[in-house]
Amino acid sequence: MGRPNASAGHAALLAAGYRPESIRASPNALPGLQERNRTKGFRMFYEPHLGHGLPHDPFKAIIAPRPIGWISSLDQQGRPNLAPYSFFNAVHSSPPMLAFTSESMKHSAANAIATGEFVFNLCTRPLFDAMNISSDALGEGISEFEAAGLATAPCRVVKAPRVAAAPAALECKVTYSMQLQDMNGAPLKGWIIIGQVVGVHIDEAYITNGRFDTAKAQPLARCGYRHYAAVTEMFEALRPTDGGGYAPGQKDK
């Protein structure tokens, strides 16, 4: 049985009273998409290589919020660079490691690979404007620290500077860098950089009862489109494996 054509699928959805953004904003939505909407109780499904049929790709809005790796580095001439990366996360705890993905060979990735070092700076709500300015595509060797009016502070183990105003910063040595491939092994433009944390800076104003006070720091996270979120509230819950409870100061599992 063939698929209904776009207008038949569209008409069936409209007749059923369904008014998703995809149909209103994108009359050219894929016929296959509409058929699947109809047959799966209006649950949208798409295969990315066929297109999503929405005005904007929802992928980054689904994988949200994403922490922002505000990455500082030095180029081979010793010039500082700073840029935000939300394809970023912690990837290992002992030793602590983190990773960011550059969707092409941008300055931060090139510097990290060339020097073997980079720094994660915690980007917080009060630092939003500076972070945003630092995402500008400035020429090689032009400092985003200066463009954003940010003071640098020295690191201890690596040569790259950190953002002085960030409540925390993690000095990293590159352990792994790899050009990404798709599922057929075709090379992509993106690179993933993994770093091992070799130095941790914390502003003591954000230590409360011996813990880093995440809600006080208000870390900024990237959502989809041009949306952001800030962590201002948290809740605590024990795990089934915590047994008798979670003792203060207990090593996190």
Ligand X SMILES: Cc1cc2nc3c(=O)[nH]c(=O)nc-3n(C[C@H](O)[C@H](O)[C@H](O)COP(=O)(O)O)c2cc1C
83: contact with ligand X by CB under 6 A: yes
Rank residues 85 and 145 by Cβ distance to ligand X and give the closer one: 85
**DSSP β-bridge partners for residue 172:** 118, 197
Among 26, 56, 87, 153, binds ligand X (CB under 6 A): 87
Rounded to 5°, angle at Cα 50 from 44 and 53: 50
Listed residue (104, 102, 133) closest to 118, CA to CA: 102
Cβ proximity of 3 and 12 under 8 Å: no
Rank residues 83 and 155 by Cβ distance to ligand X and give the closer one: 83
Among 47, 57, 103, 242, binds ligand X (CB under 6 A): 103
Contact region with ligand X (CB under 6 A), list: 9-17, 54-62, 105-113, 172-180 = 105-113
Rank residues 133 and 164 by Cβ distance to ligand X and give the closer one: 133
- In a 3-state reduction of DSSP, which class is residue 48? helix
The nearest distance, CB 230 to ligand X, in angstroms, is 13
Q: Which residue has the tokens 């009359």?
A: 27
Among 34, 37, 72, 86, binds ligand X (CB under 6 A): 86
Among 102, 115, 124, 218, binds ligand X (CB under 6 A): 102
60: contact with ligand X by CB under 6 A: no
Among 34, 67, 85, 170, binds ligand X (CB under 6 A): 85
Query: Alpha helices of 75-185 — where are they, by DSSP H?
Result: 107-115, 128-133, 144-147
H or E element at residue 15: helix 6-15
Distance, in Å, from the CA atom of 51 to the CA atom of 252, rounded to the nearest integer, reads 41
H or E element at residue 65: none
Q: Which residues bind ligand X (CB under 6 A)?
A: 68, 81, 83-87, 101-103, 106-108, 132, 135, 137, 222
